[in-house]
A and B are shown apart, each in its own frame.
Chain A
Amino acid sequence: MPKKGDFVVAVAVFLLALLPLLFLWTPKGNTAVVRVDGEAALRIDLDRDGLYPVQTPYGENLLQVEEGRIFVSQADCPDGLCLNQGAIDRTGQSLACLPHRLSVTIEGEGGYDAIAK
């Protein structure tokens, strides 16, 4: 039978899992920063609709901005998970394509400082 300690572990993991949610709610951002291999490769203005192809050393992703939100509309990565992550528009939200080492992060006017405050 499971022991008392198991429930302590379960509750601890549950609370730890919820911890990042405290930081989740943030205002809408207007710039998307695209990083490849951790280096900022492109800044995208979310106020204008458009298509942005991003060529990484590992493959290509097509980013699309529509009504102030950004999402991955095409990608040749093996898992295709980035295509299913939906559109994002709030500061601190991000999209990731791990096979291509690509990430897209929304920033507001103040970038990280604004999030910290």
Chain B
Amino acid sequence: MTQSPNSRAVRRLCVSGVLGALALALSYLESLIPLPVPLPGVKLGLGNLCVLLALYLYSWRWAGLVLAVKALLSSLLFAGLGALPYALCGGCLALLVMACLKPCRALSPVGVSIAGAAAHGLGQVLLGAWLTATPQLLMYATPLMLVGLCTGGALGWFVLWCEPRLRRFA
């Protein structure tokens, strides 16, 4: 498909907007699913799917945009503004790690996603330990990172499968 640079830019903006909206919808969906782990910050991370897709379809800038939309709107609408610093801190650290690992040729989206999910949990725990000045909270890194290992792996697998199929729409 040949496209003028202009129409490609419009398309990119549209798809990023759709990914942002999808991320928001997925965050709402996962807020309805109770997890059997009574710890702050333990979630499925479904919204990260869109961030990961934006990272693979476009670049870290667009992924950052999707992340910002998701974090800001989902804390305003569902989680409460108190959750915003945690969402941003975890999300930015995750994006940083994923963007750095993405060019690595030995890694598929699965590994990148796992590393991102682990970084997300770690970012939240670090911020929590810092805000409450309680280094013992770092213990929560264990469950958060183990959950991230599973959910991140599953989401990465999904991206591995659907990213080539989405590429022609991007």
Chain A residues in contact with chain B, CB under 8 A? 1-10, 13-14, 16-21, 23-24, 35, 37-39, 58, 78-79, 81, 83-86, 92-94, 96, 98-99, 101-103, 105
Contact = CB atoms under 8 A, between A and B. Distances in A.
Given A3-B108, A5-B106, 15 more contacts: A1-B108, A2-B110, A2-B111, A3-B106, A6-B107, A7-B111, A13-B149, A19-B141, A20-B139, A20-B142, A35-B133, A38-B133, A81-B38, A98-B40, A98-B86
Contacts of A7: 111
Nearest to B117: A13
B130 to A, nearest CB: 8
Interface of B: 38-41, 80, 82, 86, 101, 104, 106-108, 110-112, 114-115, 118, 128, 131-134, 136-142, 144-146, 148-149, 153, 156-157, 160
B33 to A, nearest CB: 14
Given A2-B160, A5-B106, A13-B149, A38 B82 contact: no
A2 B141 contact: no
A81 B40 contact: yes
A79 B34 CA distance: 12
B71 to A, nearest CB: 16
B157 A2 contact: yes
B111 A17 contact: no
